[in-house]
Amino acid sequence: MGVWDLLLVGLVLLLGLCGVLVPGVPGSWLVWAGVMWWTVKDPQPVEWWVLVGATVALFLSQVVRWALPPRRSRPNWAGRRMTVYAAAGSFLGFFLIPVIGSIPGFMAGAYLEERLRLGSHGEAMSALRTAMRSGGSSVLAELFTCQLIAGAWLGAVIWG
């Protein structure tokens, strides 16, 4: 597969990662479609294993999301600013503490935004709990899964 094709696949994966954070955009499906496109374009065993792993991971992510308590009445779990802070924290955490740092990074980003907005620790923690119960945990599960898939794709491209 050529460099331009890999850049396009990477762009689709990046759009999918951003799409997870936007309500109504099928971000996880974009990530899966990017991996499938990469696999079909250059069918090698490593590519097929990444596709199988992505499919299983997305299935398990859906099971986890269905097992989580249902979202409260708010269709959007947080405002745009909190979404940006949480996503930035998740991406930074994913790279600073490889892979597993995405989860505390997401929550730290959301907490930081609430702390800046509300001013006190107690109110920020309460707002963070409310946001996570209102759908933040579902967004976190989907974003973490898509980050794992994109990381596996990047690793297979670099070392495979």
Report the C-alpha gap between 155 and 121 in whole angstroms.
Answer: 39
- The pLDDT of residue 27 is above 60: yes
Residues 6+ apart with CB under 8 A from 107: 86, 89, 128, 132, 140
What is the band of 17 on the pLDDT scale with cuts at 50, 70, 90? very high
Question: What's the confidence (pLDDT) of residue 42?
Answer: 85
The token duo for 92 is 């930074």
Q: How far is CA 125 from CA 39, 107, 136, 149, in A?
A: 43, 10, 14, 30
Per 3-state DSSP, the chain is made up of helix, strand and coil in percentages (nearest 5) of: 80, 0, 20
> What are the tens digits of pLDDT across the range 59-116?
999 998 888 776 654 555 578 888 999 999 999 999 999 889 999 999 999 999 999 9
- What's the pTM value of the predicted model, to 2 decimals? 0.89
Q: Find the mean pLDDT for residues 126-149.
A: 90
Q: Find the mean pLDDT for residues 120-139.
A: 88
